[in-house]
Amino acid sequence: MFERFAERARQVVVFAQDEARFRELYEGRQPLYEEVADGRAHDADDVVLAAGGVTVSAMPRDLVPGIGPAELVADERVLELHPPPVDARVLTVPPGEEAKTVATAERLWRELRLDRGGTLVAFGGGCTTDVAGFVAATYLRGIDWIAVPTTLVGQVDAAIGGKTAIDLPEGKNLVGAFHWPVRTVIDPALLETLPEEQRREGLAEVVKTGLLAGERLWELPDADLVRRCAVFKTALCLRDPYDDGPRQALNLGHTFAHALEAAAGYETVTHGRAVALGLLAALRLSGRPTDAVEAVRCGLRIALPRASDPAAPPTRTAGHPSTRASGGTSVFASIATPTNVAAAPMPIASSRSVVEIPLMKRPMSMSAAAPCCSIWPRRATCCWKTSRPVSWTGSASAGKCCTKSTRA
């Protein structure tokens, strides 16, 4: 390091001429550097992570910076498996999508005792960080929060970038806020207790990131793939914090995914499973190979909704504003080449034919009457169809479940 400074010093200012003095000053100031540093960078990836407030490491003892009070919002199942990452009052949320409801958010608003100087720590998967982040964004008009993700989905995606949300019966992530956590601490060791099924759900997001990055990230060991995905997402979110441009590439497969989740009432089709199916549809739409998704998906049991429930509330096709349907079209992220992803408006009718194909890849015995989901502008419904390729006709505004015509 001295040589680097000395070389520069010769060019610009007179400084660092004496190596012994340089070392003495550097050693003396080291504690100060440590105290004020946001992170420690050894390479460009470290710089990106530090700029985004993201740490990939074992759980630090001083998780909450400063001296203000903290409270912990944690997934109750995760607390059975791991000690809380901070010594603080604990508010629990139920596992899964049930955490992302107005009722849970209201309970947290009412139970929190923090003042505006306090910090909310979220400990759990994507559902916990989404609801806790949203509560932090809105409680007292916004307080600091720290994300400690415990699932693969959370570590590679959900806890990074400041998007927070809860679901409504009408659709997923329909209420939310951009509220970047002051810190996201990713400890890959927390994944050791994750059931294989849940891990595979996270791999769907890893495949998405790998396709966008143009690297086979899903083939790396867990600790490495978590870090690479975290870097990729952090960099994209830093470039586009409010999701107005390049960040929308991260929606690859998600328009379909959100429609499937909504169609299943957020019960039988979890986010990771829906993303796997959505990616298949998006890759087909883009004319790209689907082998990476097939490899991840084969271990995922996907129970698709069987039939439209007349009592179910109407659902929207997607939660993200940029992917919401309107006027008979929806916006889909499609991939041309790695790193070249475009958000393209597409008629609802055409998008249906793409999503049918992955849905129909069922065992032969089931294919004669495979269930499929159709995507309407204002309602995601499901119906039965034959195994032969079909093209959809029928108008969404007519409110019919679906009308189909077979193709040779």
Ligand X SMILES: NC(=O)c1ccc[n+]([C@@H]2O[C@H](COP(=O)([O-])OP(=O)(O)OC[C@H]3O[C@@H](n4cnc5c(N)ncnc54)[C@H](O)[C@@H]3O)[C@@H](O)[C@H]2O)c1
Which range touches ligand X (CB under 6 A), out of 32-40, 41-49, 121-129, 215-223? 121-129
Let me know: does 156 contact 209? Beta carbons within 8 Å: yes
Measured in Å, how far apart are the chain's first and last C-alpha atoms?
70
171 binds ligand X (CB under 6 A): no
- Number of residues lying near ligand X (CB under 6 A): 30
- 14 three-class SS: coil
Residue 199: HSE in the Cβ half-sphere, 13 Å Cα cutoff: 15
Instruction: Return the residue of 100, 199, 200, 352 that touches ligand X, per CB under 6 A.
Output: 100
Q: Please tell me whether residue 303 binds ligand X under the rule CB under 6 A.
A: no
Nearer to ligand X, 254 or 385 (CB): 254
Q: Using the rule CB under 6 A, is 161 a contact of ligand X?
A: yes
154 binds ligand X (CB under 6 A): yes
Among residues 144, 157, 187, 222, the one that binds ligand X under rule CB under 6 A: 157
- The CB-of-326 to ligand X minimum distance in angstroms stands at 21
User: Amino acid identity of 125?
Assistant: G
CB of residue 279 vs ligand X: minimum separation in angstroms? 13
194 touches ligand X by CB under 6 A: yes
**Which of these segments, 136-144, 153-161, 283-291, 324-332, binds ligand X (CB under 6 A)?**
153-161
Work out the burial of residue 374: count CB atoms within 10 Å of its CB; fewer than 13 is exposed, 13-18 middle, 19 or more buried: buried
DSSP one-letter string for 176-225: EEE---SEEEE-GGGGGGS-HHHHHHHHHHHHHHHHHHTS-GGGS-HHHH
CB 58 within 8 A of CB 189: yes
What pairs with residue 25 in β-bridges? none
**Cα three-residue angle 332-338-344, rounded to 5 degrees:** 20
Does 190 interact with ligand X (rule: CB under 6 A)? yes
Q: Name residues contacting ligand X, limited to 195-254 (CB under 6 A).
A: 198, 201
Q: Is 225 exposed, middle or buried (0-12, 13-18, 19+ CB in 10 A)?
A: buried
Is residue 393 classed exposed, middle or buried when 0-12, 13-18 and 19+ CB atoms within 10 A define those classes? Answer: exposed
For residue 351, give the H/E element and its range. helix 348-360
Side-by-side strand order, sheet with 54-56: 54-56, 183-186, 144-149, 119-124, 70-75, 89-93
**Is residue 126 within 8 Å of 153, Cβ to Cβ?**
yes
392 contacts 373 by C-beta, under 8 angstroms? no
Binds ligand X (CB under 6 A): choice among 101, 104, 150, 255: 150
**Which listed residue (92, 151, 209, 330) binds ligand X by CB under 6 A?**
151
Q: Which residues pair with 144 in a beta bridge?
A: 119
The amino acid present at 364, given as its one-letter code, is M
Stretch binding ligand X (CB under 6 A), from 66-74, 94-102, 240-248, 385-393: 94-102
| Residue 96 sits in the site that holds ligand X (CB under 6 A) | yes
If you ran DSSP here, which 8-state letter would residue 326 be given? B
Give whichever of 71 and 201 is closer to ligand X, judged by the CB atom: 201
Q: Which of 92, 101, 104, 128 binds ligand X (CB under 6 A)?
A: 128
**If binding is defined by CB under 6 A, does position 144 make contact with ligand X?**
no
Does 404 bind ligand X (CB under 6 A)? Our answer is no
Is 385 a residue that touches ligand X (CB under 6 A)? Answer: no
Nearer to ligand X, 261 or 356 (CB): 261
Q: How far apart are CA 290 and CA 109, in angstroms?
A: 43
Residue 271, interface with ligand X (CB under 6 A)? Answer: yes
**Based on CB atoms, which residue is closest to ligand X, 123 or 332?**
123
Question: Interface with ligand X includes 314 (CB under 6 A)?
Answer: no
CB of 262 to ligand X, least distance (A): 11
Q: Which is nearer to ligand X, 272 or 305 (CB)?
A: 272
- Asked if 124 is part of the footprint of ligand X (rule: CB under 6 A), the reply reads yes
What is the closest distance, in whole angstroms, from the C-beta atom of residue 342 to ligand X in the complex? 20
Closest distance between ligand X and the C-beta of residue 198, in Å? Answer: 5
By CB under 6 A, name the one of 54, 55, 72, 77 that touches ligand X: 77
Instruction: Report how far residue 244's alpha carbon sits from residue 97's, in angstroms, rounded to the nearest whole number.
Output: 26
Rounded distance between C-alpha atoms, residue 348 and residue 350, angstroms = 6
Supply the minimum distance, in Å, between the C-beta of residue 67 and ligand X: 29
Q: How far is the CB of 127 from ligand X (least distance, A)?
A: 3
Binding residues for ligand X, per CB under 6 A? 75, 77-78, 81, 95-97, 100, 124-128, 130, 150-151, 153-154, 157-158, 161, 163, 173, 190, 193-194, 198, 201, 271-272
